[in-house]
Copies of this chain bind each other. A is one copy, B any other.
């Protein structure tokens, strides 16, 4: 799917607990790797507090700029769960009770259903439910509003839900090569400039490693066309000559 122009994505983490350092993010860390493996380029990660206006402004901006937006967190029944009202505000929609979600909830909880639980069935008008793979077992559907995919903050549930929908996003794969240099960044910078200019579809990254045993710089070359990535790598290796420790 989406074969001509590779899709771009943004990840929006919602939660004071990450900004205050009480909890380490696990979800963006997981999702960037998943999306990369699927061939989706992540162009931005934002972490914002549980503030409805802030979330709404951010969702509106990310939704307009990226093909896909994944949110994490803020969808429970308590006062600090404001993600769905914020997304409704971002798209100028009302909040409505989603009958299918309400029914799922009543069936799952039975007599133990608390009135506040039903708040989790209140979604922006026009939201759709995506189930993804048929193998998802009893996973709840994912609420999607426009291009915004709403995922929960609890890492184990975040992963389970993403696993159900991941194949919906598969795109052209990204090929990656690595060149390790025994020289530091400054002596190889001119050669990098030439390679960057010569291979415009290949993304070249240069990362100094101060503690590595046998190299000083790790150079990464990424692209959608394997032949071009390999050719750019060969070009770089030739230009760096004896500075190259090894390639991968």
Distance (whole angstroms) from the CB of A102 to the closest CB of chain B: 14
- Are B20 and A185 interface neighbours, CB within 8 A? no
CA distance A196 to B101 in the complex (A): 28
Q: Quick one: CB contact mask for A23-34 with B, threshold 8 Å, 1 for yes?
A: 111001100110
Decide if A238 is an interface residue (CB 8 Å cutoff): no
Contacts of A21 in B (CB 8 A): 29, 32-33, 36, 42
- Are B49 and A36 interface neighbours, CB within 8 A? no
Number of this chain's copies in the assembly equals 2
- Are A17 and B79 interface neighbours, CB within 8 A? no
Decide if A95 is an interface residue (CB 8 Å cutoff): no
Decide if A173 is an interface residue (CB 8 Å cutoff): no
- Are A210 and B157 interface neighbours, CB within 8 A? yes
Instruction: Report the interface size class on chain A.
Output: 35 or more
Q: Of residues A46, A117, A189, which shows the largest number of chain B Cβ atoms within 10 Å of its Cβ? A: A189
Decide if A205 is an interface residue (CB 8 Å cutoff): yes
Decide if A187 is an interface residue (CB 8 Å cutoff): yes
CA distance A45 to B29 in the complex (A): 14
Q: Which of B116, B206, B210, B220 interacts with A79 by CB under 8 Å?
A: B206
Decide if A132 is an interface residue (CB 8 Å cutoff): no
Decide if A76 is an interface residue (CB 8 Å cutoff): yes
- Are B156 and A203 interface neighbours, CB within 8 A? no
Contacts of A184 in B (CB 8 A): 114
- Are B78 and A185 interface neighbours, CB within 8 A? yes
CA distance A207 to B24 in the complex (A): 13
Distance (whole angstroms) from the CB of A132 to the closest CB of chain B: 21
